[in-house]
Structure 1
Amino acid sequence: MVSCEILPDNDEPQEEESVSTLYVKFINETASEYTITNIQIRPRGSAQISTEPTEPWSGNILPENTRIEPGNHVFFELEIPNLHWSQYRLLVDDGTGTIIVVGENSDLPITHWGSDDRTVGVTLKYDEYAKTILVSGWSDFAGID
């Protein structure tokens, strides 16, 4: 095999800079029973390594006065280095105006892997046994669906 790469003066290959801006389509799936009022994230590091969170939750990353009703979505940009992920949690309206935190103890991911565009979806349901609102399903995949 022959390579014709042109190397810089120091003769060492240079690493590609990782793109840190991720364009996200966030969907509150049609099967959801609750409206999302707030999305908060915290970095979790490399997508290839399981790490404990070390940073606090962000503020709301949704545009001001934005709510995501079941079956709707929003677009936003995040600063997540390529091949890294951030965990998210949601604040939802329980239907009476009370805001409930959902997903705080789950590793719900937004991953910057395979593309600079990402589709993230979540389904929120009331769990009769636990008597609380839970994430009953989620998705996180490269590209915009």
Structure 2
Amino acid sequence: MPIYICAILLMIAADQAVKYWAFTSLQAQQTIPLINGVFHLTYIENRGAAFSLFAQFDSRWIFVVLAIVITVAIFTAIYRNMLQTQLGCWSLILVAAGALGNAIDRVARGFVVDMFDFRLIHFPVFNVADIFICVGGVLFVLYFMFQHKETSEAEK
């Protein structure tokens, strides 16, 4: 369990460091084209969920409480050995780190700082915590698919 806590703290630190840089340096410039028309660093204040969903509502505290509940549920599942493999554990650790990273922004600033802007495909601007959440989610789906397949084969 301590390794998971250390990993979450390191991921949150990385997320917050990038957001701090964007908040202090990128905000004044608004956008820096790294590959013009393809990939930019663009300062955005996201008041919604991932990829600015629900931005029209003042849902800051709902997302903070949700992040805490999700993290407690993840640690409970890991502590009770409900996940059979390291893939299952690490996928959810990524989700928890991302959720907590964005929750810190919501509490400290009232919004989440986003900065990665793939303009070529018109993808919503996102941040490091969003990457953790998405990668963790994909890995958890893979874990679930393979775990379910192994369980089904074992029952035959």
Same fold (TM over 0.5): no
Query: TM-score band, normalised by the shorter chain?
Result: under 0.3
Larger strand share, 1 or 2? 1
Larger helix share, 1 or 2? 2
TM-score, scaled to structure 1: 0.22
TM-score, scaled to structure 2: 0.21
Larger Rg: 1
